[in-house]
Amino acid sequence: MMSRLWTILACCVLAGACAPHSEAEQKPEAAPQAAAQSSGQTVAATAAASPPAQSEIAGEIFGVPVTRDNYYFAKLVANIFTRPWGAADLPEPEREAIVWENLILHYTAFERGIQVSPEEIEEAVNQLLKDEKQAFTRSSDPEAYKDWVKKTLNVDTELLENQMRYLISIRKLKDQVREEQQVVVSEQDMQQEFMNEQNHVGGEAVMFDSKDEAQAFYMKYKDPKAWEKMKASGEKNVRPVSLMTLEAYIDLWSIPKDQMYAFHSQEIGTVGPPLPFGPKQWAVYHLLEKRTGDLAEFPKQRDAYYRQLQVKKKYEAVQQWVERRKADARLKVLIKP
């Protein structure tokens, strides 16, 4: 019964609002950066719907059909509201993964009975207008609001607010799940986090598209003298890398902790073995400067690090929960983007 009701709600997004090859495929000229806070819930149904024909189904989650209209609605939302996903700039397979993840989370929010109030819609719309440097609010000048939405997003206000409702429901689901998480913060965790933020490295690097290329380069130039000759010759583009905390390298560039700790332990002047830099690049790094923190200073900041790590671990636990939920969804994609 729950699955059937969600299908009806999902099918009734808005008559004609998500036509597969019209508005839903358009990229607005100005894609507002409506923050992750502008997220929203199930679209209200205005009438019951009969089961969709096979040709109208884009896929299936939890054994429930997802109509093409609902799929294109979710896709339009991901393209317009680029934070926190940045979907418009991602390769097509990654954009599709975000669309289906959001549909799974939206369904889960519906299952949990998560509701979005008119006040929450009002707040989200007003925040969007503020972010876009508009002087009016949704209520202070309804006509200006209506005109701005049409000119900027090429949709009407009803569809925009349904998008907001959809996004807010996903955000509220994640907030709810985060509050449910029970995490353990150990003394060792806190001390390591402290040192990650106190230890710094800086220098210069040569970037590569593959590990094999980086490894071959490293074997040729791992001697600092050979590195200097290579740099002087202009053979490779040697980029300066600012002095940064190990935490920045680990979090921003996804460098494994053990590799980052090993690199920090090297002597200044060392050319280190290849490090993964983000998801698609590798770096051979010449260590030119570093700082080492003093653990004796940790007790003064212990409470702050406890709170910081508790929040961080809860966010990580939510992401793990999302991955499990996606695995449980038994996703079937029938549509070709």
Complete DSSP assignment for 182-242:
-----HHHHHHHHHHHH-EEEEEEEEESSHHHHHHHHHHH-SHHHHHHHHHHT-S-PEEEE
Tell me: do 208 and 176 sit in the same domain: no
| Domain at 162, CATH number | 1.10.4030
Long-range Cβ contacts of 184-190 (<8 Å, 24+ apart): 184/313, 185/306, 185/309, 185/310, 185/313, 189/309, 190/298, 190/302, 190/305, 190/306, 190/309
Domain identity same for 18 and 71 = yes
Over 251-300, what HEC string results? HHCCCCHHHHHHHHCCCCCCECCCEEECCCEEEEEEEEEEECCCHHHHHH
Q: Are 215 and 162 in the same domain?
A: no
Q: What single-letter amino acid sits at 271?
A: V
In the chain, how many domains are there?
2
270 and 142 in a common domain: no
> Is residue 105 a part of any domain in this protein?
yes
Q: Is residue 194 domain-resident?
A: no
Report d(CA 265, CA 294) in Å as an integer. 15
User: Are residues 117 and 241 both part of a single domain?
Assistant: no
Q: Taking CA 98 as the corner, what is the angle to CA 92 and CA 101, rounded to the nearest 5 degrees?
A: 140
Please answer whether residues 283 and 207 qualify as being in contact, where contact means their C-beta atoms are separated by less than 8 angstroms. yes
- In a domain, residue 288? The reply is yes
In a domain, 299, yes or no: no
- Any domain includes 297: no
Is residue 254 located within the same domain as residue 282?
yes
pLDDT string in tens for the chain (337-residue length) = 444 434 434 433 332 333 333 333 333 222 222 222 233 333 223 223 456 666 789 999 999 999 999 999 999 898 887 665 555 667 888 889 999 999 999 999 999 999 999 999 999 999 999 999 999 999 999 999 999 999 998 889 999 999 999 999 999 999 999 999 999 999 999 999 999 999 999 999 999 999 999 999 999 999 999 999 999 999 999 999 999 999 999 988 889 999 999 999 999 999 999 999 888 899 999 999 999 999 999 999 999 999 999 999 999 999 999 999 999 999 999 998 7
**Residue 267 forms part of a structural domain:** yes
Residues 324 and 232 in one domain: no
> Is there a single domain that holds both residue 170 and residue 263?
no
- Report the C-alpha dihedral over residues 77, 80, 82, 86, rounded to 10 degrees: 90
Same domain, 126 and 259: no
Statement to judge: residues 175 and 261 lie in one domain: no
54 and 163, same domain (yes or no): yes
The secondary structure element, H or E, covering residue 66 is strand 64-67
Q: What is the pTM of this model?
A: 0.73
Do the beta carbons of residue 158 and residue 9 sit within 8 Å?
Answer: no
Answer left, alpha or beta for residue 16, where phi above 0 means left and psi between -120 and 50 means alpha: left
Write out the residue range of the structural domain in which residue 228 sits.
Answer: 200-292
Secondary structure of residue 336 in the 3-state scheme = coil
In a domain? residue 314: no
**In this structure, are 217 and 245 located in the same domain?**
yes
